[in-house]
Amino acid sequence: MMKKNSAVLLAGMMAVSLAACGESSEAPAENSAAATAAVAAATAAETSADETTAAADTTAAAAVTTADADAAAPTFDLSADPYAGDGVLTVGLNATFPPFEYVGDDGNPTGFDVAMMQEIGSRLGLTVEIEDMDFDGIVGAIGNKIDVAATGMTITDERKEAVNFSDPYYDATQSVLLPADSAAASKEDLAGLTVGVQAGTTGEMVAEGVEGIGEIVSVKSFNQAVLDLVNGKNDAVIIDAVPAKAFLSQYPDALKIVDGETMGFDVEQYGIAMPKDDAELGDAINSTLKAMKDDGTYDALVEQWINNYEAE
Ligand code: ARG
């Protein structure tokens, strides 16, 4: 409680001083649409074209949006929350899923989901701690080892028996990574092939549903599955479309993609997975996600992390 109030107060004071700054600069925040756009630019700072102007706009605009967010968004007091009450939101993920989560240059997990959760955490006054773990252990760890999971996790009925999901935040389909010279072009062509998947994923389920499929090799990390494909140990990998593209960019000459539509795979949706017994945390996360979509921050993160992803 104390901590939260003082954080809000501090944010308010910063907003006032930043607003003052903005007024004296040459780029006043004229209206909230401009402010929103500038904040989106600030979030995706690297994508901004004119750095000087953007910097001035950003200072003014950040203040306006902070003030707006305080006024419009309901504030959530999570101080008594069973999971977030300690001020720390522990987020589980498996960092072999670029650009949603992967191990960055500094050896730490990074990517879209990390950035999204850090933004949600900061808006809720929570410190986000990332726990990189095996994908097939994540659902079972929610509510004990970790508080929530943000890991490109598809919302499925089966998982919903164990956890709650936030509102969907990204659409996906499974697609198939193949050697560049493969003749496979349809689901039927996967018959008899050795297919690599990540254990516990919807890609594994899709593979199990392919009639006549050869061997399904379930491994702990997508990096491994793709490496096995590049090295000829398997014939294909079933993996979500956006990560498929990210891996393709690492091996552009060796691999190709047949997309999920061509393969006849269903559309999936990603959600943040949360403990079943915590509706309040769910509300807080959903409202924050919505506010981020409304003010352009969400799209800026998509632009920065997904549309502009470059393999390292
Ligand atoms: N969307 C798929 C699923 O939910 C794959 C997710 C894999 N995520 C990861 N971080 N490895 O099953």
- Let me know if domain 88-169+271-307 sits in CATH 3.30.565.10: no
| Residue 15: pLDDT band with limits 50, 70, 90 | very low
Cα of 212 vs centre of ligand 1, distance in Å, is 24
Say if residue 5's pLDDT is above 50.
no
Q: Is 287 in the pocket of ligand 1 (CB under 6 A)?
A: no
Q: Is 247 in the pocket of ligand 1 (CB under 6 A)?
A: no
Residue with tokens 């989106």: 40
Say if residue 107's pLDDT is above 90.
yes
**Spatial contact of 280 and 81, defined as CB atoms under 8 Å apart:** yes
Q: Is 223 in the pocket of ligand 1 (CB under 6 A)?
A: no
The string of pLDDT tens digits covering residues 264-285 is 999 999 999 999 999 999 999 9
Q: Please give the pLDDT value at position 310.
A: 81
The string of pLDDT tens digits covering residues 34-60 is 334 444 444 444 444 333 344 444 444
Say if residue 250's pLDDT is above 70.
yes
The string of pLDDT tens digits covering residues 95-106 is 999 999 999 999
* Rounded percentage of the chain residues whose pLDDT exceeds 90: 75
DSSP structural state of residue 155: P
Q: Is 309 in the pocket of ligand 1 (CB under 6 A)?
A: no
Say if residue 216's pLDDT is above 60.
yes
Pairing of strands 195-198, 273-274: unpaired
Pocket test for ligand 1, best of 163, 240, 265, 268 (most atoms within 8 A of CB): 240
**What's the rounded Cα separation, in Å, for the pair 260 and 70?**
42
The string of pLDDT tens digits covering residues 120-141 is 999 999 999 999 999 999 999 9
Which class would CATH give 172-268?
Answer: alpha beta
Ligand 1 atom closest to residue 270's alpha carbon, by position in its atom list: 1
Residue with tokens 């509300």: 283
Find all residues with CB under 8 Å of 37, minimum gap 6, and list them. Answer: 61, 296
